[in-house]
Structure 1
Amino acid sequence: MTSSLRPVKRYSIEQCFVPLLTSSESFILSYDEHPRPLVRLFNSGCHQITCIFLPTLLVDMCYSSYLDVFLLLTSQCLYKLNPSIGQLEHIDDYELLKENRFLSSLCSTNDHRLFILYRFGEYLDEYPRGKRIWKRRHLCDSLSEDISLIRSSCTIDNPHLFLLGLLIVEWNGTWRVDIFSSSVQKLHTGFRFSGWTRDVWLSNWSPYECWFVGSRCRLMIDSKGQPKNISVDGVDCDMKNIACMKQIDQIKLMVIREEKLLIFFK
C-alpha cells in the first residue's frame, strides 16, 4: 500500500505528546507546547498555511468528518477549528464537568457524537450530552486500572459502524487497548504489552484498519485489540505518531511525528 511513498518534506517542531491529525481530504494539524500552545495547520501539499495560538494547554484533539472541523480539547473548554478559514471558535453548548476534574481525551464518531474522557477514566461523557455518564466501574475490569485515551474506528466499507478503543494501563504498568461497541459495551479485552509510560499515545484509526500505539515498537492494534503486523515501506524513523490521508484504496499522504520533527511522505 505504501511502497510508492517517499519523504518529501520535513518540519522542525517542539516536543509534544499530542498526536497529529489529518482531515478526510485536505489538511493536517499538529501541536507545539513550547514556548506557548500553538497549533500548526498544513495543507495536502505539505505547506504550513497558518499558526494559531491557544489560550491554554491542549489536552487532546480529533477531526470530526460530519462537522468538517478539528476539535480541540483544552483544560478549560472545547474549541472547533474550521481548517478552510483557519478560525477557532468555542463550542458553547457543552460545559465541562465541574469539581475541577482533569480532562484526558476525546474522539468523534460517525453517528454525530463526541466522547469526552475525564482523567484516569473517572468519567466518560458524550456530546450532545446523553442521559448517562459512564464511570470507571463501567469501563474497567478493576478500579486499580486507569484509562488514558479514547479513540474511534471508522471504515469506508462500513461507514455506519464504529468501535471505540480505550487505552488502559493496569496497576503493574502493563498496557492494553480494550474494544467497546458504540453503546459502550465491552467487546474485547486487548493484547497486553509493556515498556511504555503515560506519555504513550493512541493514534486515530488509519487506512491500515488499525490504531497505532507509539513509540519504540510501532505497535498496530486491530479492531479486536490484537497486534497487527504491518510493514510501512520506506519508513525508518522513531515514530511517535502517524497520520494518513486515503484516496480510494491508496494512501495519498502520510505524516509521521518524531520527537521534534514532522516528516511528510507522498
Structure 2
Amino acid sequence: MFRFKQKEKKKKLDIYKDQILQWLSTYPDLSSAQITDWIKERYGNVPCSERSVRAYISSLRSEYKIPKQGHKRQYEAVEELEMGFQSQVDFGQIWVDTIDGSRIKLYCFAMVLSHSRMKFAYWQAKPFTTVDFIEAHDKAFEFFGGSTKEIVYDQDRLLAVDENFGDVIYTEEFQKYVDFMKFKIRLCRPYDPESKGKIEAVVKYVKNNFAKHRIFEDIDSFNKSCLEWLDRTGNANVHGTIKEYRKKCLHSKNNT
C-alpha cells in the first residue's frame, strides 16, 4: 500500500508570512505584540488569537534562524485604587528613523489611569517646556473625559522649581494650572516602582510597541498614529469598567 505524504496544513497567518519575515529580517528584536499591532495597522485584522501569533512567529524564527533578543520584564507594583482617584504621569524619549534616512529624537508625555490602566501618550520633536507640559495635560484630560483627583509625578523641573523645608515650590504656570483644575499632586522619587510602576511600565510599552522602528514623517502624523494605536492596541485590553469610568468617575469633567 502506498502512503501519500500529507500536505502541510496552511496556517491563517501564512497570508502575511512574507511581510512578517521582512519585518523580522529588518528588525530582529520585534516582539510578537508589535508584529500583531503592525498587522492590524496595515491590514485591519488578525485572523487568530495573540497566542497563535506568538507561536507562529516563534516557528518562523526557528525555521529561518532569526534569534529573538531577550529583555528584562518591567516590574509593576500592584496597587488597586478606586475609580477616578489617581493617574500617573511620566516622560520618555526615543530615537527613530525619518523618511529621509536621518534620525530624530522624540519626547513623549504619558498618562495612565491607575484603576483602569487606560493610557494616553503625546509626542513632541523637542523637549517639553512647562507650557507644553500643561498643554499635554489638557490633551490627556480631553482624551479621558476629565481629570483624576490625584496625579503622581516625579519632582521634575517642569512643575517644581525648589524645595523649602520640605515644601515643594511649583513653577508659577503649573501652580496656576493646578489651582484651576483642583487636583492633588503626589511627588515621588524617579524610577520608583512602588509608587509609579504603572506609568513606568506604560512609557516602556508605548516606546517599544508603538514608537520603536516606526518611520517618522512629521509630528502631527506621528501623534495621529499614536492615537490610532491607543485605540487599536494600547487600550484594547483595559478592563470592562472603563466605560463606566469615563462616564461617571472622573473628577473636574467640566474643566477639560
TM-score, normalization by structure 2: 0.28
- Between Structure 1 and Structure 2, the one with more helix by share is 2
Which structure exhibits the higher relative contact order, with contacts defined as CA atoms closer than 8 Å and separated by 6 or more residues? 2
